[in-house]
Every structure is written in C-alpha cells, then in structure tokens.
Structure 1
Amino acid sequence: MTTIGITGASGALGGRVTALLAGADLRLDLRLLVRDAARAPDVDTDVRECTYGDHDAALAALRGVETLFMVSTHEGPQRRHEHRTFVAAAAEAGVRHVVYTSFVGAAPDATFTLGHDHHVTEEALRDSGMSHTFLRDNLYLDVLPHFADDHGVLRGPAGRGRLAAVARADVAEAAAVVLRDPGDHAGAAYEMTGPEALILDEVAARAGAVLGREMSYVEEGIEEAYASRRAGWPDAEQWQLDAWVSTYTAIADGSLAEISPDVERLLGRPPRTLEQVLADR
C-alpha cells in the first residue's frame, strides 16, 4: 500500500482530488490532512488534524505518508513561514514525494505578488531533499465570474492582456494522475492552463452568455484600481490590495497569457473551456 496524504481535503481542490482517488485503486491508502476533522469529506479513510504552521502537529499527521499533495494554504503575510514549516515537517516525517500547487510564473519578481510566495515554497521543496512535482496553476476559470461586482462588471488594469485560465477540475484530475505514479513525474513543473487565452472583454461576454446575465469589463488605471478597492474594503491590508491589483497587471503584461500543452499531456484530452466549466457549476 502507498499512503497518500491530501491537504486541503475539505476545500474545492483537495476535496475533488480525494473523490478521484478514494476507492479507485486498492494500492492507495489515503490520509486526509485538515484543520477541522468535522469538515473532512465523508469517505472511509484516515483523517488527521493539523495546520501548516504547527510543526509538531504536522509531523505527527505526516508520519507514514509516502506521497503528499500539498495545496497552497490561505493567502496572507504568514504563508511563506507556514509553507516552510510544513515542508520541513514533511521531510522530517519521511515523506518521499510532494506534489505542490504552485502558480504560473512563480518567481521572486513575478508581477502577481502572490507568485513570490509560491517561488519561496518551490525553493523550500527543492532544498528539502524530497522528490517533488509542481503544478503551476493559472487563475481558475471557475472563479472568474466572481471578479465581477453586483452589476456584472469586472474592473481592473488588465488592458488588452490575455489570460489562459484553467479549470479547477482539470488541475484536480492532473494531480490525481501524478499522485498515482509520482516517480514518473519527479522534478517536473507543469504549467496548468486552459485551451485559449482570453481578454477580459471576452471572458465577460462569454461568461455572461452561459450564466444568463449581463457582464462587461471596465478598464481601470492602477491608482484608480487601488482607490476603488480601498473604498470597497477599507479594512484590507496592503498585501491584499497588492494581490488584487496585481492580478490584473499580470494579465496586462502577458504573465498569464501563455497556453501550455501540459494539461492535455497529463489527461490525454484537451483542457476544459470557460463554457464547459461554467455549464457544470
């Protein structure tokens, strides 16, 4: 039996990976790592409570895990520390291979500010001595409609930049493929994108058509974008404002535009389109 640890199992991505693997292969023994066991998926498997920032709890939960699916934790100023702590605990626990959900273009100078956190985690995994695979996700197609306000307007400094967003379900299926045979993917960094790169005008028009609501994109300048978000969320911290605005500036400068063949290589079929994702909601 190979024991696979799945973090974030009570969330959308980890939960989907759990459903794909649970009971699908008698060679696999799943262990769900969650903050609150009461919220874990209702599957017949081992459930352990831990958080990324609690080294001792993580170490206890990870002992005996051979392959680990590490979903990046909640955004915030402590995320780098929490990820490093969890990676160190995994290495100490004897985990052999980690599949980590990173972000396209993860780098210390990434336009999208949260890409810096993912770069730090990738470096921690490279230095850990554990084998690893990075699933570098683009933005999720599933959440793009949530960028719109109550009037269906997406606002931001994205210009005419393009976005190759990916279906969360495709990332989950790709993760399941890698987790079943991690040795075949050791050292790989897969760029997880959709089949096309869209400007936000196209996203709004096509999403609106599927959802049956009027949607549009309105261009903002960078300072205007900061001002509108400060007005809407007066308690937001600076890192949050930077992350929100840089989502759009990363689209504008082409950081999120490249279309990768990696989803099709892993799944043996083309990635889902925006319409397919929204129709399945």
Structure 2
Amino acid sequence: MTTIAITGATGAVGGRVARALGPDVDRLILRDPRRAPAIEGDPEVRVATYADGAAMREALTGVEVLLLVSGAEAQDRLEQHRTAVRAAAEAGVGHVVYTSFDGAAPDADFTLGRDHWHTEQAIRGSGMRWTFLRDSFYLDFFPLFAGSDGVIAGPAGDGRVAAVARADVADAALAVLRDPAAHEDATYVLTGGEAISFADAAERMTAALGRPFSFVDQTLEEAYASRRPLTDQQWQLDAWVSTYTAIGGGALARTTGDVERLTGHAPRTLEQALAGE
C-alpha cells in the first residue's frame, strides 16, 4: 500500500481530499493539530509549517506520496514552498502532487502565478516524481471579489476566465492519489467548462444568491488607488490588481477537459459552486 500524506487538510481542497480518501490517507500535516478534521481511519497527525524544514522533514519521513496544497498568500510563500520541497526530498518522499496555477510562468500576468512556476521548478529539480494540478481561479471565490455593496471593481474589461470549483480541484487530486503511478510527471490544467466575464458572473450571482451584484471596470490607476487604504504591502497590491489584469488580458480564458478526464464528471458550473454542490 502507498503511504499518502496530505497538507492543507483544514482547507476546502485538502479537507475534501482527505475525507474522500478516508482510511487510505495515512498522515495529515497541519499547522494546528486542534483543527484536525475527523477522517475515517484516524490518520496520524503531524505538526509542521512549510517554513520549518526540520519539522517538515520529520513529519514526512516514511511518506511515499505527498499532496502539497499551495500555502496561503504571503510575501515569502515561495521560500516556504522551497523549504517544504527540500524537506520532502530529504525525507524520502517519492512523488509530490502540487496544486499550482493555470498559466504558471516566470512572467505570468498574475504575479502569484510566478511563485507557482518557481515552486514547480523546485519540485522538478528535487529528484522526486511529480504531478502538477494547475487550477484556474476559484468559482467559489467570485462573491468575495465584491465589496459590501455587491460591486466588483477592477481592470478586467470584458475579459473572461475559465474559473473552476474548488470541489473539482479536490476531485482531480483525489483521482491522482488513487493511482499516483499513472500520473507521474504529468501536468493538468483544471478549468471550468466555460469562460465567464465579471459582468456575466455578477448577473448570475444576483440570480443565484438573491442579492445584487455588478461589475465596474477600472483603470490601473483607479485599481491601485482604491486598494491602497487596505494594505501598505506592494506585493499584495500587485497580486490583487493582477488578478483582474490577467483575466482582462485573456490569459485565463481557455477551457480544458482535464477535470472530466480525471474525475469522470463535467466541471461544476458557477451556480453549482455557489450552492456548495
């Protein structure tokens, strides 16, 4: 039997994967053991953060396949990822399944997509086998783009994005973990079944959630100015604004069939994602 460990099991993606695997998951790597989810089979819980190489190495010793869910947005997230990857290789992990980003590249329009590309390179150079799940932006997050007034504002124009439900990303990861050898050194681009604009999304969310949403296009200058009161961190400003410019530039508009190929079912729609289906 393959020994499987999962990080991020308190989140929507890692948690869904862990619950679905049940007794087939051997170890959960968590920052806070008090938040450990109830999983059939009671997998072992190890405490470690991505930034703590020694703790990660100890937590991963004896693990053959690791689901490495990308860490929370932070200025040093790339270094955290690199530390975790080194620790996994030193612990003897043979295969890493990493949740990356559609369009990950050293010059990705979405600035955090660059971190994902560099993390992929660290994994490629580690000697471990790998599977990259390059997911698009999350459909579930669309309401969070809006302010308290329901207005989504950003420099996206009429650009479209093939956003994907987090549940579909989890289902794809589950399929890979059920047969890791069949997916060694493979990259999958996980998208929804359609590319939608913010204006489309606002109209559909209004109908689905029963409260008004709208989209207002902004210039770059307006986008930065409206967000500067929220943070003094330039990396965070760039990440927020480039979410919209990446969509506006068409970098995330393509759809793929990878969700259905991996899971056997069609990608969820915006309405299904909002309903938690």
Q: TM-score range by the shorter chain?
A: over 0.9
| Corresponding residue number in structure 2 for 1:86 | 84
Please point out which of 17, 25, 42 is paired with 2:38. Answer: 42
Residue 280 of structure 1: CA displacement?
Answer: 2.4
Please point out which of 165, 168, 173 is paired with 1:167. Answer: 165
How many angstroms apart in 2 are the aligned matches of 1:279 and 1:62?
36
| Corresponding residue number in structure 2 for 1:17 | 17
Percent identity, aligned pairs only, is 60
TM-score norm. by structure 1 comes to 0.96
3-state SS of paired residue (1:124): helix
How many angstroms apart in 2 are the aligned matches of 1:143 and 1:29?
28
Equivalent AA in structure 1 for residue 264 of structure 2 = G
**Is the contact made by 1:134 and 1:190 (CA closer than 8 Å) also made in structure 2?**
yes
How many angstroms apart in 1 are the aligned matches of 2:82 and 2:26?
23
How many angstroms apart in 1 are the aligned matches of 2:275 and 2:48?
35
1:126 paired with 2:115, answer: no
**Is the contact made by 1:5 and 1:65 (CA closer than 8 Å) also made in structure 2?**
yes
3-state SS of paired residue (2:3): strand
How many angstroms apart in 1 are the aligned matches of 2:68 and 2:95?
10
| Corresponding residue number in structure 2 for 1:279 | 275
Counterparts of residues 40-189 of structure 1 (less than 5 Å): 40-43=36-39, 44-189=42-187
How many angstroms apart in 2 are the aligned matches of 1:180 and 1:67?
11
| Corresponding residue number in structure 1 for 2:264 | 268
Query: Once superposed, which parts of structure 1, at least 4 consecutive aligned residues long, lie more than 3 Å away?
Result: none
What is the Cα-based RMSD across aligned positions, in Å?
Answer: 0.9
1:249 paired with 2:254, answer: no
3-state SS of paired residue (1:22): helix
Residue 80 of structure 1: CA displacement?
Answer: 1.1
**Is the contact made by 2:32 and 2:47 (CA closer than 8 Å) also made in structure 1?**
yes
Equivalent AA in structure 1 for residue 214 of structure 2 = S
Deviation digits for residues 128-180 of structure 1 (CA, Å, limit 9, x no counterpart): 01000000010000011110011111000000100100000000011010011
How many angstroms apart in 2 are the aligned matches of 1:83 and 1:192?
21
| Corresponding residue number in structure 2 for 1:211 | 209
Unaligned runs of 5+ in 1: none
**Is the contact made by 2:64 and 2:95 (CA closer than 8 Å) also made in structure 1?**
yes
| Corresponding residue number in structure 2 for 1:198 | 196
| Corresponding residue number in structure 1 for 2:29 | 33
Aligned residues: 275
Q: 1:2 to 1:215 in 2, by over 3 A?
A: same
Unaligned runs of 5+ in 2: none
**Is the contact made by 2:12 and 2:167 (CA closer than 8 Å) also made in structure 1?**
no
TM-score norm. by structure 2 comes to 0.97
3-state SS of paired residue (2:121): helix
